[in-house]
């Protein structure tokens, strides 16, 4: 008996998305702790990441980073320096997504840890020296190390 053939799918639609966020340093904390967030992946695993989100129409990446950091952590920030851009691809349902994320070093200037975003399960202040071990993704670990160097050796 012949096996049924899988349904033929057409080519995936390719879309481009831009996000921004970064490393926010604790207000008045002497640059020793940074805020990390935890959320669930589509498969249900808890992962620790830097706060970030979509750049809205009319926003600069810097403005989006400040807004997203506050939404996801409760901390108001001010951009101190650009840390770099992460670029990657993934498939989401019937789309192939090219994602670019702009990361910044932000000085926390107020607020308290209290995420507004319902997708954020936890938010914590983490010693900057420990943050690379906590983060799930290697590119974000590299960004924290870059931020740490900037904080130790200001330009």
Distance (Å, whole) CA 102 – CA 38 = 19
> Is pTM, for the whole model, over 0.85?
yes
Asked if residue 19 lies in contact with residue 53, where contact means CB atoms within 8 angstroms, the answer is yes
Task: Specify the range with the lowest mean pLDDT, choosing from 10-14, 23-27, 94-98.
Answer: 10-14
92-113: average pLDDT: 93
Residue 94 and residue 138 in contact, taking contact as beta carbons nearer than 8 Å: no
Structural domains of the chain ordered from first start: 13-152 (3.90.79.10)
What are the percentages of helix, strand and coil residues in the chain, rounded to 5? 20, 45, 35
Contact between 123 and 72 under an 8 Å Cβ cutoff? The reply is yes
More confident residue, 3 or 23: 23
**Each residue of 49-92: pLDDT tens digit?**
999 999 999 999 999 999 999 999 999 999 999 999 999 998 88
């Amino acid at each position: 008996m012949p096996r049924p053939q899988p349904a033929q799918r057409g080519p995936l639609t390719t879309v481009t998305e831009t996000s921004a966020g970064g490393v926010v340093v604790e207000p008045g904390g002497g640059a020793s702790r940074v805020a990390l967030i935890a959320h669930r992946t589509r498969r249900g695993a808890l992962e620790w990441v830097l706060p970030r989100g979509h750049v809205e129409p009319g926003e600069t990446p810097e403005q989006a980073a400040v807004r997203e950091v506050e939404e996801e952590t409760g901390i108001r920030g001010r951009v101190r320096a650009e840390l770099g851009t992460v670029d990657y691809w993934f498939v989401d349902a019937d789309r192939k997504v090219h994602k670019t994320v702009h990361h910044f070093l932000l000085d926390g200037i107020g607020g308290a840890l209290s995420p507004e975003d319902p997708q954020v399960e936890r938010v914590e202040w983490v010693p900057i020296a420990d943050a690379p071990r906590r983060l799930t993704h290697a590119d974000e670990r590299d960004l924290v190390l870059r931020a740490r160097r900037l904080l130790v050796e200001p330009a």
